[in-house]
Amino acid sequence: MLTSVDRLLFVRRVPIFMELRDDFIVRLASVMNELSYPANYSIFKQGEEGRSLYIVVSGRVKVHIGDTKLAEVEQGKFFGEMAVFDTEPRSASVTTLEPCECLELTQEQLYDAVEETPEIAVNIIRELSRLIRKLNNNLNTTNGAKN
């Protein structure tokens, strides 16, 4: 379990929260749920309803569709953000690769945060754009290797 100070310092380093004011980070960090998962645990499955995003405090998870690994998410990175915004079913599954500690931010908490501090939405959009570019580059590299 993280102390209040450790939680604040950790959340401050997460890319989507980096540019936010300290007083806002304190409030946001205080409402997040802290969750522990064993190795090889399914945090959520493709197709399930999703109303939370998760930030990896320790350990690693894999994002996958069936046996195809899409990404590995490690300390300080987040996952599950798409379903929080579009309220569609989860587009992939997430399984722990080792014991993990995560912070959970619910859709309601996130929407309250965006309403109070709109910069968080810009930060999330920036991070999602980076992810899409990375996936596009990987796809282009893979398709280029096949041709």
End-to-end CA distance of the chain: 50
User: In the 8-state DSSP scheme, what is residue 73?
Assistant: E
Helices (H), the chain: 4-13, 22-31, 81-86, 107-116, 119-146
CATH number of the domain to which 61 belongs: 2.60.120.10
Helices (H), 63-118: 81-86, 107-116
Write out the residue range of the structural domain in which residue 35 sits. 4-146
- From 7, 69, 59, 52, select the one nearest 38 (Cα to Cα): 59
Query: Given this model, what pLDDT does residue 110 score?
Result: 81
Output the CA–CA distances (angstroms, integers) from residue 74 to 54, 58, 59, 60, 116, in the order listed. 11, 7, 6, 5, 28
Quote the CA–CA distance of 25 and 38 in Å, as a whole number: 28
pLDDT in tens, the chain (147 residues): 778 888 888 888 887 787 777 888 888 888 899 999 999 999 999 999 988 999 999 999 999 999 999 889 999 998 998 877 787 899 999 999 999 999 998 988 888 878 887 877 787 788 778 878 887 887 788 777 665
To the question of pTM greater than 0.75 for the whole model, the response is yes
Q: How many domains does the chain have?
A: 1
Compute the C-alpha angle 40/72/36, nearest 5°.
45
